[in-house]
Chain A
Amino acid sequence: MSQLDLSELQSTEFPVPDELQGNLAITSISKLYNWSRRSSMWPLLFGLACCAIEMIGTAASRFDLSRFGMEVMRGSPRQSDLMIISGTVTKKMVVPIVRLYNQMPEPKYVMAMGACASGGGPFKEGYNVVSGIDKYLPVDVYVPGCPPTPQALLYGLIALQKKIDGQSLANMDDVPWYGVGPAEPTPIPVLGPDIIDPRQMDLIRRQAQMAVQGKQFAVGELPALPEKKAEPKKVEAKATAAPEVAADMDPVKAERMKKREEALARKRAREAAAEKGE
């Protein structure tokens, strides 16, 4: 993290996230924070299909996930940090998956293991198959292969750890969960005549209206998909963290938020000045 002035950090006016109130040595806290996050990543214990067998094989003694602090597979989403989508996601199953995802506490990560979870895999054309979990959830790491061997999976997990290592507490994009206000839960799909993503309701409605007139939107002339905007986790979280969304935020938090903005503005100004000086 950054060149934030230490004295500023110590000042009471600097906005410290709730969770870190009282921990004022933020200087290399990012490092410590990343280290602890990546070394105790507890996966959610659930397997979907064939890839799950390799996932269990990875957890077993020959490859041993516990070398990475990941052996504690938790049965409850509320105790886990990492969701390994290990196999084909079907339309019937994506509903519970999104629900489970919403129940996981931040910080949470999603890994798409295998061709099926990444993009539908060999079963992509099937009528009950979701072609890639990233259509519903933000995915951090994709591990190709059908199935990925245990070593390939470990490589993916290390890639995820690297990703975490590159994050910084100072950057709200990296740690959106310290943003103000509750994070928006991912809307849970509905099983209608086919699976319905609530984020696409508007589009479906318009399509249906067109269908009454015997027309259809062609793929090219799509009205902007609302889900496209919300797809990457970070962008979404940023939106919640932005002050203008938080109109009904409680005053203390709003106050803090304002201060943080000011601090950041000061920092930027200082940086700009420093650059000029050089």
Chain B
Amino acid sequence: MAYKIVASQCTNCTACEALCPNLAISEAKGTFVIDPALCTECIGHFETPQCVAICPVDDTCVLDASQPRYQAA
């Protein structure tokens, strides 16, 4: 599954946007959102999901249970 951002906790700090290797994160209506079609959970790029590692608010970038886990090709 892809990651998602809990909008109510996001501080709009922009940090995750610049770090995503897949450009999956963008600003939308006062918060930041992850495009599940683009998010690869950072697999193949980094050991840890970059958005999770940089986010200043714990449990804000979380796995989206409504999406299947990402399968590396």
A and B together in one complex:
no
Chain B contacts to A: CB under 8 angstroms: none
